[in-house]
A and B are shown apart, each in its own frame.
Chain A
Amino acid sequence: MKQFGFTISKGRQLNFDEMKTDKVEKLLELVPSYKLCIGCGGCTASCSAAGFTDFNIRKIHTSFLRAQYDGLDEQLKRCMLCGKCLLVCPRGVNTRSLIINMRRVLNNVDAVTWRPQRELKQKEQGGGEQ
């Protein structure tokens, strides 16, 4: 096949019926200030970790908001929590809290006791089998 140097990217549309928004809702409950985000990307522009890799915090939290959780936790582990994004955010989003809580929700760590939640995991697995 002839290589034209471009590809057709996969469809990016979201099916709202299949979206599992429970984690998003939980995150918004834990970090209410995230509702203020306008997606300006200031956080990514100032990011220390982005200086080394393609770590893109705006992309990560936008994907999270769209309930596309795959691989986000691995990405988030690169964050050094230095807090520069917090200071540049024009909307006052508590970005450090956002990152900590995204990891916590992705890992099913309970919001109050900080212990891994087993019930939620089982429920999800059960849902997957159906």
Chain B
Amino acid sequence: MSEEFFHPFVLPFCIGVLFLLVFSVWKYWRWIRGFDKLQRAIIRKNIWTWRFLPAIWEAFREGLLHWRITKKNALLGYMHRSLAFGWFLLIVVGAVQADMAYTGHKPFWIAIFYNYFEPFSNIDFPQADFFANLMDALLLYVLSGLFLAMFKKVWSRPMGMKRTTRHTLMDRAAKMALWCIFPLRLLSEAVTSSLVGNGGFLVKWLGDVITTIGLDNQAFDITCWTLYSVALGTFFCLMPFSRYMHIFTEVFLIYFRQLGVKDSDKKTGYTMFELSACSRCGICIDGCPMNKELGIVNMQGVYMLQSVRNLELQKNAEPIAENCLMCDRCVADCPVNLDLSVIRRQVRIKNKKAIDKGGYGYLKDVQPFNSIGRVAYFGGCMSHLTPGITKSMETIFNAVGQKYWFMDRDETICCGRPLLQQGFENQAFELRRKNTEMIVNSKATMLITSCPICYQSFKKEYKLSIPVMHHTEYINMLIESGKLNLRKDDRKVTYHDPCELGRGCGIYDEPRNILKTVTTLLKTSQEREKSLCCGFNLGNPLLDIEQQTKIRNASRDNLLAPNPDVIATACPMCKKAFMRADSVPVRDVAEIVAENIVKQ
């Protein structure tokens, strides 16, 4: 290595890069070894396929362009994009520029400290001016994002964020280092420019200013470059311990996700990737009904992940992990698409280990019904408190001549999801085993359920070989195939998306199609992914009835805004919650359909 490529000020930067490299490789290697058997099998199965292509596209779109954040708020997206994509381009274009300026072997820091070492080069390449101006434009782009980030610190409303995350000390230190990097780079380049006259439009202009002030001396030049290098080195050293690790981790996470890896009920290496991929942007805080209606701001996704990540905080992990409705609103909002509810459930499962033993010996007497050629209908526990739903379903079955077996007409076995949500993994498994055995032995051809909680459980947690449908899906199928003769009444209806059915299983259109067929469906301001939880979700064991009512009222007000005659929903629990509000009548989709059947 020749003398002209080295100056001691590059050392902090080099140490930082080396530390970051070694530490990240060690960390990632450990996490990848922590994958469980199923996850390894999926990776082994899919690693030699073309799935890396969509992964590259998604990593580019989300890691650099921040597309999902842009869709939420354009300004917030611009801020993230300018910092991520701008810095990325700065490195890439800088490397190309250095490659063109110096032929032959050169150290890697040349691209970073290009303007300092440029005067020592003796090769003049034709596009030098173009590159200098391009680099300045990119630096300006990054600085504009930095300015917005500082602006957001003071006033985050224009960026679409009412509340921002409360960060840990390490995160704040890393942010300070990051914020210093780009202004210092501009300053150092400007001082060098004032001495030798290189650089593009921005650097030259600032160089002139520095000459006017009279700071154009060698010592100040070296000081600035040293500070720039120290800022970079500090940032790289703090990175593995701060939120900025998400920059690299997100790329890995996107790749594993594209390969088909899913989180399990225990903390695995994949969970570690998810924990690290959280950028702690705090977008999960604003949408959370616990924040909006109750002002509780210590348990949202970002803080829950922080408590899992940070072992010291695990002592207080209970109120954080348990105090959540599990309505999945944060999962829908998360720009990194983290499985926040799954990770929360992992903590709950870990918490409940000591008391997770069931005594369900009494279930063995329940016998399945021989139902070859029939569908099995599972009302769900809650439907027994809203018998209108099960009766309507029986009316509909009879109207289309569908033979059915009402699985839990008398003896109700829970689906197990309420237990699992609370972390009672073994107990839930016992119930799932019994239900699976009943359904398999009955030889039913299809399972229809009225409760979204059961539906999600049967769909995701059971491994049934027969199709599982929610009753809205089933009725929609009947309507589309013309088997059900319905009239259209003159009621105006708003539809409440149950959390478990909408965000949980992605069923938004079927109930809406049905309601459009039999009534007039009105739009509400917060629907589909943005629907508000009814507050009586079984996910949260800590809320008292007043708090639940507050959340319910917010959700009800949203539904009542367009002046409907009836509130429609597709979940017995939500129905029960809104029924207590004494506003307009509340009906399940099945009930509205059953009321409108035309008898032939």
Contacts and interface: CB of A to CB of B under 8 A. Distances in A.
Contacts of A81: 414, 418-419, 422, 424, 427, 538
A114 B423 CA distance: 12
Interface stretch (A8-16, A93-101, A120-128): A93-101
Contact of B354 (A48, A75, A80, A109): A109
Contact of B385 (A53, A88, A94, A113): A88
Contacts of B354: 107, 109, 114-116
A39 to B, nearest CB: 18
Contacts of B318: 111-114
Given A51-B410, A52-B365, A77-B359, A113 B538 contact: no
Contacts of A112: 315-316, 318
B337 interface: no
Given A92-B545, A112-B318, A104 B381 contact: no
A113 B316 CA distance: 7
A37 to B, nearest CB: 13
Given A48-B412, A52-B362, A94-B541, A80 B357 contact: no
A33 to B, nearest CB: 5
B352 interface: yes
Contacts of A109: 354-355
Of A52, A83, A111, A114, the most chain B CB neighbours within 10 A belong to A114
B544 interface: yes
A52 B366 CA distance: 9
Nearest to A106: B355
Interface residues of A, number: 35
A64 to B, nearest CB: 15
Nearest to B415: A82
A100 B427 CA distance: 13
B413 A80 contact: yes
B384 interface: yes
A93 B424 CA distance: 21
Nearest to B347: A114
A100 B359 contact: no
Contacts of B314: 113
B545 A114 contact: no
Given A52-B365, A97-B542, A80 B414 contact: yes
Given A48-B414, A52-B362, A107-B354, A87 B545 contact: no
A84 B355 contact: no
B385 A46 contact: yes
A77 B362 CA distance: 11
Contacts of B418: 80-83, 96
Given A51-B410, A52-B366, A92-B545, A87 B359 contact: no
B360 A78 contact: yes
A103 interface: yes
A74 interface: yes
Given A80-B414, A92-B544, A115-B354, A87 B422 contact: no
Contact of A48 (B315, B413, B427, B542): B413
A82 B453 CA distance: 10
A82 B412 CA distance: 10
B533 interface: no
Interface in B355-400: 355, 357-360, 362-363, 365-366, 381-382, 384-385
Interface in A44-94: 46, 48-49, 51-53, 74-75, 77-78, 80-84, 86-88, 92, 94
Contacts of A83: 381-382, 418, 538, 573
A3 to B, nearest CB: 30
B536 interface: yes
Contact of A84 (B315, B351, B385): B385
Interface string B520-563: 00000000000000001010011111100000000000000000
B576 interface: yes
B431 interface: yes
B411 interface: yes
A82 B414 contact: yes
Contact of B541 (A97, A103, A111, A116): A97
Interface in B401-434: 410-414, 416, 418-419, 422, 424, 427, 431
A105 to B, nearest CB: 10
Nearest to A30: B542
Of A52, A75, A92, A107, the most chain B CB neighbours within 10 A belong to A52
Given A33-B544, A77-B358, A94-B544, A52 B411 contact: yes
A109 B316 CA distance: 15
Of A77, A80, A88, A113, the most chain B CB neighbours within 10 A belong to A80
Contacts of A97: 541-542
Contacts of A51: 410-412
Contact of B315 (A82, A92, A113): A113
Contacts of B353: 114
A104 to B, nearest CB: 6
A73 to B, nearest CB: 8
B576 to A, nearest CB: 5
A109 B357 CA distance: 14
Interface string B97-110: 00000000000000
A74 B371 CA distance: 35
B249 to A, nearest CB: 28
A13 to B, nearest CB: 30
Nearest to B315: A113
Contacts of A115: 354
Nearest to B364: A52
Given A77-B357, A112-B315, A112-B316, A84 B419 contact: no
Given A81-B422, A84-B381, A103 B362 contact: no
A46 B366 CA distance: 19
Contacts of A48: 381, 384, 412-414
A83 B543 CA distance: 14
B52 to A, nearest CB: 41
Interface of A: 32-33, 46, 48-49, 51-53, 74-75, 77-78, 80-84, 86-88, 92, 94, 96-97, 100, 103-104, 107, 109, 111-116
Given A81-B419, A83-B573, A113-B318, 11 more contacts: A46-B384, A48-B414, A80-B414, A82-B418, A84-B385, A87-B576, A88-B385, A97-B541, A100-B541, A114-B351, A114-B352
3 closest A-B pairs by beta carbon, nearest first, are A77-B359, A92-B545, A114-B351
10 contacts: A80-B381, A81-B422, A84-B382, A84-B385, A92-B546, A94-B541, A96-B418, A96-B422, A96-B541, A113-B315
